[in-house]
Amino acid sequence: MKKLFITLLLSSITGIGCIFIGFYYSKDPIFMGFLIVGICILLGIAIKIMDQLIDEIKIKSYKIWMVPLAVFIPTSMAYLALTEEPVVGMVVGTVLGMMIAGKINHPAYLVSIILFIALVFIAFLLQLINIEVTTFYIIPVAAIGSYLDEFGHEKWKSNKRSITFLFKHRFFLKVFAFIGVVAGFAQPIHFIGFLCFDIFYDLVATAYQKDYVSKKSMPHNSKLKLNRGAEND
């Protein structure tokens, strides 16, 4: 897991560094963008780790990490929603699309969703956040983009690498997010934050896959498989 560890370390340092810059220069609106980007980077890392713990990693002692992740993810999203209100529509729409596609299939996901909604609702009651009408326009757009990406990634089979690549890297959600910025529903920094989230999500996924392939191809693993085959014969 060497590549994964290095990727997680460097990515986390990048995200935390951006957050530090954003807080240090909090009075400057330009540098505040670093705060959004930093949180999005950490969210991309955290959500991919959560996915791996649920779908790929079978070591039970590692599963305990799902608890802090299930708290960190919705809390960070709620904080973004407080400072950048369009995030509410982006998150709710994306989650709806994933639910329709059948991707919300684990209690940890449900806990995160419920906690996010609860935090945003409390903030709304305390008048800490004012949800604009345009946010409700974002929700169906994000939901459609999320659903198309998940449907294409899981169901659509094609021999063309270009089509596989587009679905793998959530092409529709990116396009719809860009349309939302052009239409004035969101700001460019929100699109940049989403791209950073997606880039670091994919970086963690790639590092994990490379470590997995390397582990399977190591000589001692090959010998172990041969010995097991001989025993079965």
pLDDT band for 42, please (50, 70, 90 cuts).
very high
CA angle 116, 154, 46 (to 5 degrees): 35
DSSP state, residue 160: -
Q: How far apart are CA 150 and CA 138, in angstroms?
A: 18
Yes or no: say if 137 and 85 are a contact pair by the CB < 8 Å rule: no
Q: What digits encode the pLDDT tens for the residues 3-29?
A: 888 999 999 999 999 999 998 887 777
**Domain ranges for the chain:** 2-216
Question: Is residue 213 predicted with pLDDT exceeding 70?
Answer: no
Yes or no: say if 36 and 76 are a contact pair by the CB < 8 Å rule: no
CA angle 129, 146, 179 (to 5 degrees): 70
Closest alpha carbon to 176 in 221, 141, 124: 141
What pLDDT does 162 receive? 61
Q: How far is CA 164 from CA 21, 28, 150, 187, in A?
A: 37, 41, 12, 29
